[in-house]
Structure 1
């Protein structure tokens, strides 16, 4: 039973934190007026995609937490989450597209480092991060394109 309480905490932290940041970030006119590349997804795509990814991130963290709370995989999981949560206020709040690009590139490095670190001992957690890695890599290209266009 305690395992599932910890899972609920992970879900609340990650999904709740991500949705809270997303809800507090007013996209508004600033983002609407930015030049964007042709491959920019429609706005309605981001909410569902991030919700699913946040569930995967939470489950991956929970899986690693159960076996190795102080190992490298858990530390990298925490670093990627911190960077992930930092990107939104920097990009949408502070309007710092270049700094946001640096943060998202560091996030990709942290995600891939987590996958490598977790692969042998926590394969399921590493696999749960693969769609996340792909989406954040795409988001990095999108961030870079917006930076270059503006």
Structure 2
């Protein structure tokens, strides 16, 4: 039981730390964001860290559920490893998006990058579902938020042309 608790904490800490580091690297660029035209439905800036913290928490729990399924099955089970690999890849893509959007100001490129992230998360959810339905369901808010983020990103890009 102690080992499961430790692995759950690590699983939750990884996305939270990466998200925090990404936020730290882009915090000086947030003033630029506030000066950009905002589309309808754009939430106040205070909403973003709250939503992302919840999403990172859910990511960590989902990855832990899949990891525990991996530990319970034979290590060669082909259903588990692709999901964890896609999870790590989408974490890296997620980490870079704010750097492209906020720090570099590459609004068009960051929208395309967000589409890549959305594709990876859809793939991850499908892979997670083959191992743990709960792990997949916990990622639905993430998918919905990415679609909303895509709307915001594309709208801001088009409004600044």
| TM-score bucket (shorter structure) | over 0.9
Deviating beyond 4 angstroms after TM superposition, the runs of 4 or more aligned structure 1 residues are none
1:141 aligns with 2:151: yes
Question: Which stretch shifts more, 123-132 or 64-73?
Answer: 64-73
Q: CA deviation at 1:24?
A: 3.0
Q: CA deviation at 1:29?
A: 3.3
1:1-150 superposed matches below 5 A:
1-26=2-27, 27-68=29-70, 71-150=81-160
Give the match's secondary structure for 2:46.
helix
2: CA distance between counterparts of 1:78 and 1:49? 20
Q: CA deviation at 1:137?
A: 0.8
Unaligned runs of 5+ in 2: none
Which structure's CA Rg is the greater one?
2
Deviations 1:61-94 (A, max 9, x none): 1111122376211111111111111101111111
Q: CA RMSD in A?
A: 1.5
TM-score (norm 2): 0.87
1: CA distance between counterparts of 2:48 and 2:57? 14
Tell me the number of residue pairs that the alignment of Structure 1 and Structure 2 aligns: 150
